[in-house]
Amino acid sequence: MRALVVRGRDATPAVEEVRQPDPGPGELRVRIRAAGICHSDLSMVNGTLAPAYPLVLGHEATGVVAGTGPGARLAVGTPVVLNWAPACRSCWHCRHGEPWLCAANSAPATARGETVDGTPLHVTLGLGALAEEVVVPERAAVPIPAGLPPEQAALLGCAVLTGTGAVRNTARVAPGESVAVLGLGGVGLAALGAARRAGAAPVLAVDVAEAKRDLALAAGATDFLLADDRLSKEVRARTGGRGVDHAFECVGRAATIRAAWRLTRRGGAVTVVGMGGNDDLLTLSALDIFHSARTLRSSVYGSSDPDREVPALAAALADGSLDLGPLVSGTVPLDEAPAALDRLARGEGARWVVSF
């Protein structure tokens, strides 16, 4: 089958023929219908993250169960969303209500399958979903209702679960609170939509790219602000001079975490949603940390339990109370995935989705 493979750091990803094993005990083969391209895929290529290569990219997808290994219970034909942090339900974190921190899921890449020339292959976050098929543990597949638009359902597996969960679960944004979202890719746009639905006001959308303005307003922002040297003043003008109650960093860089910190009021909360690099350092003074009384915390996979929350989001998609149309900039065939990755790198559009 064909998959988007990157052979090494800074190599150009290309569509290759690869071999995946048959599903083993408790595993499924899933035929992918749609897979989103996330900034983390870029981070797997450009060295921000350090996975093993060659690597199948992709970790945000929907598909249909096409085969089952011994003991797997889902029926062939079941539509599913893939979960890149499947909970083991037995480690300390799973037993303490933090399945998103499950100890079984710390590696960015897992060995699985091989290339046609026989080189051992790795898959992103246990999935490698920018591929015609994946073989995954059954717990990495969450059943969803049939008939959802695949290019929207795919986003439930990463951007939407992450952005929505950051707002609802991690920060617990309340009606009337003020919110700023920095970085308006799929993750940030999902976060600001969730903030608006939670009754937050104002919901300030911040990006370096003016082209994100219309996308942000369509996704639920009350205001779009350019990330320039007037940003702090513009935010304070809209928040009684104080700064926002909640800032969400959806870029994955120390500089934007610092910007989010500065935009937040005394006693407010900064939630880091972006996944940055290990050598990108943030400096805060001891006095600033004390005096500002702010909270700084991260949100991994939206502090969510995908087994519970993906079906709830899928039901909202089905009944029309959730519309992810504004998040999808376009669908492309797998052969055009490298070009779509370039577009993402240039900050063009919201989410590009590969459709199979």
Give the interface with ligand APR as residue ranges (CB under 6 A): 38-40, 43, 162, 182-188, 206-209, 212, 227, 250-252, 255-256, 273-275, 344, 347
Interface region with Zn ion, contact rule CB under 5 A, candidates 112-120, 151-159, 249-257, 341-349: 151-159
Nearer Cβ to ligand APR (148/340)? 340
Nearer Cβ to ligand APR (59/265)? 59
> Taking the complex as a whole, how short is the minimal distance between the CB of residue 102 and Zn ion, in angstroms?
17
Nearer Cβ to ligand APR (48/78)? 48
Contacts of 157 (CB under 8 A, 6+ apart): 36, 59, 60, 61, 62, 81, 82, 83, 84, 129, 306, 310
Among candidates 87, 45, 9, 27, which has minimal Cα distance to 338? 45
Backbone angles phi, psi at 233, to 5 degrees: -65, -45
> Taking the complex as a whole, how short is the minimal distance between the CB of residue 123 and ligand APR, in angstroms?
17
CB burial of residue 223 (10 Å; 0-12, 13-18, 19+): middle
Site string for Zn ion, 37-66 (x = CB under 5 A): -x-x--------------------------
Give strand pairing partners of 135: 29
**Among Zn ion, ligand APR, none, partner that 227 touches (CB below 5 to 8 angstroms by kind):** ligand APR
158 binds Zn ion (CB under 5 A): yes
> Taking the complex as a whole, how short is the minimal distance between the CB of residue 57 and ligand APR, in angstroms?
13
SS3 state at 118: coil
Nearer Cβ to ligand APR (160/269)? 160
**Among ligand APR, Zn ion, none, partner that 209 touches (CB below 5 to 8 angstroms by kind):** ligand APR
Report the C-alpha gap between 5 and 105 in whole angstroms: 21
Q: DSSP assignment of 153-166, as one string? A: HGGGGTHHHHHHHI
The rounded radius of gyration (Å) of the Cα atoms in the chain is 20
> Taking the complex as a whole, how short is the minimal distance between the CB of residue 344 and ligand APR, in angstroms?
5
134 binds Zn ion (CB under 5 A): no
**Among Zn ion, ligand APR, none, partner that 108 touches (CB below 5 to 8 angstroms by kind):** none
Backbone angles phi, psi at 299, to 5 degrees: -125, 105
**Among ligand APR, Zn ion, none, partner that 43 touches (CB below 5 to 8 angstroms by kind):** ligand APR
Buried b (16+ CB within 10 A) or exposed e, 9-35: eeeebebbebebeebeeebbbbbbbbb
Nearer Cβ to ligand APR (113/188)? 188
Nearer Cβ to Zn ion (155/334)? 155
Alpha-carbon distances of 317 from 20, 83, 129, 163, 306, rounded to whole Å: 32, 18, 22, 16, 15
> Taking the complex as a whole, how short is the minimal distance between the CB of residue 335 and ligand APR, in angstroms?
21
344 binds Zn ion (CB under 5 A): no
Interface region with Zn ion, contact rule CB under 5 A, candidates 35-43, 49-57, 172-180, 341-349: 35-43
Is the distance from CB of 40 to CB of 129 less than 8 angstroms? no
**Among ligand APR, Zn ion, none, partner that 344 touches (CB below 5 to 8 angstroms by kind):** ligand APR
Judged by the rule CB under 5 A, the positions of this chain that interact with Zn ion are 38, 40, 158
